[in-house]
Amino acid sequence: MPDASERLSLPYLMPAQAQKHVTHNEALHRLDLLVQLAVESFDANTPPALPQAGEIHALGGVPTDAWAGHAGELAAWTEGNWQFIEPQEGWQALDKSTGTLRRRNVGGWSDVALPDLTALPGVGVNTSYDSANRLAVSSNATLLNHEGAGHQLKLNKASTGDTVSLLFQTDWSGRAEMGTAGADDFSIKVSADGSVWSTALAFDATTGMASGMALTQTVDDATVGRLIRVGDFGIGADAGPLVTDLDAHQLSGNYSGYGGGHVQAPLGDNPFPTLDGVFGLHCGNSTLGGQNAYLWQIAIGIDTPGLAFRVRANGVWGAWQGLWSGANTTVDANGFIKEASPILRLFSDTSEEPAVPLNATFERLAVGQYALTGVPPLASKGWQVEVPQDANGNRLVYVDCDYDAKLGALHVETSKVIWQDGWAAGQPCDIPKGRWVDLRFDTPTR
């Protein structure tokens, strides 16, 4: 049996050997030096002046002084002396000065090369990769951190018709996908079974405009949960969707309709039955106990201005209520508010149309004589003429009117007021300065 081990030259304990503890301690000492070998320096030729216990150097080709004659060996400072060990091929040692791991080869030491991680066929972290998924990670989370200011995750495809996306799965079946699939438009798709897919949102690559099932599909799409596009329900549109049945309409939003003689007049109660024009409709609702308890509609006449509203309660629409405004009233020469259809204020030298425009032509013919052309007849219902009064309520002028239907002209004469078994016309006179005569006409037909 040999006296020492073949690789580390550890001395063996022999039968009937005296002082066996010495041999055993020498073997432990040698193991302490060589196992987990860490070297202070490589290719060293000059011994340090003050070596520390356990310090090891890998000697170069021309060692001097106490190292002379031990080229290529390991020099270990132990028990106040240098102990020399011949390294064997394959031993590894850590260079403490650089942190580099080195291996003993024939003729010297060389750095242990790290594995080449470029052009790997695949990487599996806590799992196996395959030909389709060459990077596979099985983990509760994956962290991609910044180095510096930020971090970009780049997904590239070869051409426009290809797909680059993030796919979200349940039990390996697709449920959601976002990216550019088959085009450069960005889309978000969802599926309940991995087979039938719906495009929830898509953004045009050129315009940035949005489309998809998450948006309203028509101008009055009332599907719960959809996002309203500009223009739908009249939001941001020049005119809202056209209402076809006012009484059946129960959606919130801004709408439009046609009144009077238009062929497209909506069904149901018309807020402006005498108007031959367009009106705007604003609708809303309030809930009570989860039910649609109250609905309301506000209609605004456009061609002929007007404002009306009504409320729906317990499934029944109330009557339209007209609101008085400058569009359907006038203040007469005496300061009273009066109902207006088309109103014209006749002065001594001009005319004025404060509410519904008539575009009448004014002409003063003589003292107390005026002609208005391009006008309809005076109102067939309600009041026609209102004259200015003094502080005691006495009329300041007497008014006679004569209408020529063929010419569409109204001749107006104003005179002083006299009494002849009743109020009558006296000498012609002009309308007093700063005062006027109110003339109310029928709504013109088209």
Domain boundaries, the chain: 36-111, 240-322, 329-440
Tell me the HSE value of 208 on the side-chain side, using a 13 A CA sphere: 0
User: Given this model, what pLDDT does residue 38 score?
Assistant: 87
Distance CA 85, CA 70 (A): 9
pLDDT of residue 287: 60
Cα–Cα distance for residue pair 333/393, rounded to 1 Å? 12
Q: Check residue 298 and report its DSSP letter.
A: E
Residue 83 and residue 77: Cα distance in Å, rounded?
Answer: 6
- For 50, the token pair is 């003050």
pLDDT in tens, 346-379: 999 999 987 677 889 999 999 999 999 999 999 9
Residue 192: count other Cβ atoms within 10 Å of its Cβ.
Answer: 10
CB 79, CB 24: distance < 8 Å? no
Strand locations in 182-231, DSSP E? 186-191, 197-203, 210-211
Q: Give the pLDDT means over successive 10-residue stretches in the chain (446 positions).
A: 60 68 62 76 93 90 94 89 88 89 89 85 95 96 95 96 97 97 96 97 97 94 92 85 88 81 73 65 67 77 80 87 80 78 91 83 96 93 91 93 95 94 92 94 72
Cβ atoms 86, 75 nearer than 8 A: no
Percent of the chain's residues with pLDDT above 90: 50
∠ CA(220), CA(224), CA(230), 5° rounding? 45
The rounded distance, in Å, linking the Cα atoms of 139 and 123 is 14
- Distance of alpha carbon 339 from the chain centroid: 48
In the structure encoding, which two tokens stand for residue 145, read together?
Answer: 């951190």
CB 317 within 8 A of CB 299: no
Check residue 290 and give its pLDDT.
46
pLDDT at site 5? 53
Eight-class DSSP state of 24: H
- Pairing verdict, β 56-59 and 41-44: parallel
Structure-token match 């898509």, residue found: 202
